[in-house]
Amino acid sequence: MGHGHSHGSHGVVEVGQRARTYLIGLLAVFAVFAVAGMIWLWPSGAEMDGALTKVVDAPGVSYADATITSVTEGCESSIETPSGTAACLTVAIDIASGPDAGTQNTVELTGANVHNGLQAGDRIEVARVDTADGVHYSFSGVNRLPVLITLAVLFVVAVLAVARLRGLMAMVGLGVAAWVLIGFMLPAVIVGKPGMAVALAGSTAIMFIVLYVAHGISMRTSAALAGTLIGLAVTTALGALAVHAARLSGFADENEYDLAQLAPAINFQDLLMVGIIIGGLGVLNDVTITQASAVWELRAAAPEWTRSKVFAAGMRIGRDHIASTIYTIVFAYAGAALTVLLMLFFTAREPLALFTMEMFAGEGVRTFASAIGLILSVPITTGIAAMTVGPAKVLATGPKHGDDDEGVDAAEGAAPVEPA
């Protein structure tokens, strides 16, 4: 039996040839199904044109950039209410674009816009309405691009400074994943393609790209990828059963109703499933790559351990990871649904009765399906990685402890793999 070696941080890690063959074969099957699914489900331009209803502004409406010169309390059109005058601000602006560039005007802020914190010097967008009575301006939105660009630049700098080349490759993978999401998955859902098939094909492609680009092509990464894809399948199955059993429609708030008017081909139960699958990708990837790396490091540090001992040690690490990651999932969903949760305090009904409402039950299904898939991915990935690394070795200082793998590994041989 020949062995090839490569050196990592702790020593030599070998990979069983049979396990290597099975793992590559499994991933090849996943890859073929993902590519075939994307080819089959990719929407054509004609399908997109037929499915989209573009929102068009009323005739005579255009938009211009403006700079605030002053903000004062009150408005000429303030409406009296039983509690007093409705909150309103009058904003003086210098118009910077459009046919009236270089002139001054005023716009009124009401409702939520009063709380934006706008002040002199801020850049905003205003709607210009050309009517028979003349030109009227109204507030349209805040120019937030400078803030977003600054945060994006800081993000890139932080990633490159801390993670260096690995961080750069992660951002490249993220860019390609965003292209798959925006270029394939969302358009396919809009035209009414089967949601779960779209999500599985697109998510599988994303995981292949992200993991191999960010972490390199290796058997360690492949073990993590296999665990991720199996965990994703578990999440999908649980989510589908839960959505059906809970009789969720996918219509949780007014955004879904608005979207249904614009894209009537969308199946909102499928859209809910797509959200569950995509929402679990990031944290699932984090757990599986950590577990695969842990197994590799354990094998490198303790080459005399049997695979069962490596698996047991990896699971001890995994249990700690599960405990912390569950908090991550729950608090992430709680933060996203904070406004919905606050509504619990303003009703006379029992909170448990409210949790049966779609807006609460939908978030519960998302959270629990993702969490269960995440938990099960830990033993799955740890087991795959433990079976992939080579057998226990006899150290020069004495016999190895336990030899439950010897018969199998002597037959399968070993192949050169990775540094730990």
Average pLDDT of span 323-352: 75
Average pLDDT of span 166-186: 90
* Higher pLDDT pick, 92 / 14: 92
Domain count, the chain: 2
The pLDDT value recorded for residue 149 is 95
Residues 121-147: pLDDT tens digits?
Answer: 889 999 888 877 778 888 888 888 889
Last residue of a domain, one of 114, 142, 170: 142
The pLDDT value recorded for residue 416 is 46
* Structural domain includes residue 54: no
99 plus 162 within the same structural domain: no
CATH number, domain containing residue 262: 1.20.1640
217 plus 304 within the same structural domain: yes
Average pLDDT of span 245-265: 81
The pLDDT value recorded for residue 382 is 93
Average pLDDT of span 91-114: 87
The pLDDT value recorded for residue 3 is 40
Tell me if 382 sits within 8 A of 318, measured CB to CB. yes
pLDDT of 225 > 90? The answer is yes
Domain span holding position 371: 13-43+157-392
What's the rounded Cα separation, in Å, for the pair 276 and 368?
A: 10
* Structural domain includes residue 332: yes
Nearest to 267 by CA among 276, 278, 259, 279: 259
Residues 294-317: pLDDT tens digits?
Answer: 998 998 888 888 889 999 999 999
33 plus 115 within the same structural domain: no
What's the rounded Cα separation, in Å, for the pair 411 and 358?
A: 56
The pLDDT value recorded for residue 85 is 53
Give percent of the chain with pLDDT exceeding 70.
87
What's the rounded Cα separation, in Å, for the pair 129 and 307?
A: 73
pLDDT of 408 > 60? The answer is no
Least confident span in 42-46, 56-60, 64-68, 370-374: 56-60
CA 30 from chain centre, in angstroms, equals: 20
* Structural domain includes residue 147: no
Average pLDDT of span 361-385: 88
The pLDDT value recorded for residue 86 is 57
Last residue of a domain, one of 115, 142, 169: 142
* Structural domain includes residue 404: no
Residue 156: CB atoms within 10 Å: 13
331 plus 221 within the same structural domain: yes
What's the rounded Cα separation, in Å, for the pair 375 and 387?
A: 19
126 plus 39 within the same structural domain: no
pLDDT band at 252 (very low <50, low <70, confident <90, very high): confident
pLDDT of 65 > 70? The answer is yes
SS (H, E, C) 34-62: HHHHHHHHCCCHHHHHHHCCCCCCCCCEE
Q: Hey, is 212 helix, strand or coil?
A: helix
pLDDT band at 79 (very low <50, low <70, confident <90, very high): low
pLDDT band at 185 (very low <50, low <70, confident <90, very high): very high
106: which 2 tokens? 């005023």
248 plus 335 within the same structural domain: yes
* Structural domain includes residue 50: no
| Radius of gyration of the chain from its Cα atoms, rounded to whole angstroms | 28
294 plus 371 within the same structural domain: yes
Q: Hey, is 304 helix, strand or coil?
A: coil
* Structural domain includes residue 263: yes
133 plus 226 within the same structural domain: no
The pLDDT value recorded for residue 405 is 43
113 plus 254 within the same structural domain: no
* Structural domain includes residue 401: no
Long-range contacts of 181-190 (CB under 8 A, 24+ apart): 181/206, 181/278, 184/38, 184/41, 184/42, 185/274, 185/278, 187/43, 187/48, 188/41, 188/42, 188/43, 189/266, 189/270, 189/271, 189/274, 190/43, 190/48, 190/51, 190/52, 190/263, 190/265, 190/266
The pLDDT value recorded for residue 9 is 41
* Structural domain includes residue 49: no
133 plus 162 within the same structural domain: no
Least confident span in 83-87, 119-123, 286-290, 320-324: 83-87
> Which of 33-42, 104-113, 332-341, 365-374 has maximum average pLDDT?
33-42
318 plus 382 within the same structural domain: yes
Residues 6+ apart with CB under 8 A from 14: 3, 4, 5, 389, 390, 391, 414, 415, 416, 417
CATH number, domain containing residue 67: 2.40.50
> What is the torsional sign of CA 264, 265, 267, 273?
negative
The pLDDT value recorded for residue 83 is 52
246 plus 351 within the same structural domain: yes
* Higher pLDDT pick, 284 / 394: 284
The pLDDT value recorded for residue 411 is 33
pLDDT of 7 > 50? The answer is no
Strands (E), 181-327: none
| Region class of 111: left (phi > 0), else alpha (psi between -120 and 50), else beta | left
Percentages of the chain per state (helix, strand, coil), in multiples of 5: 60, 15, 25
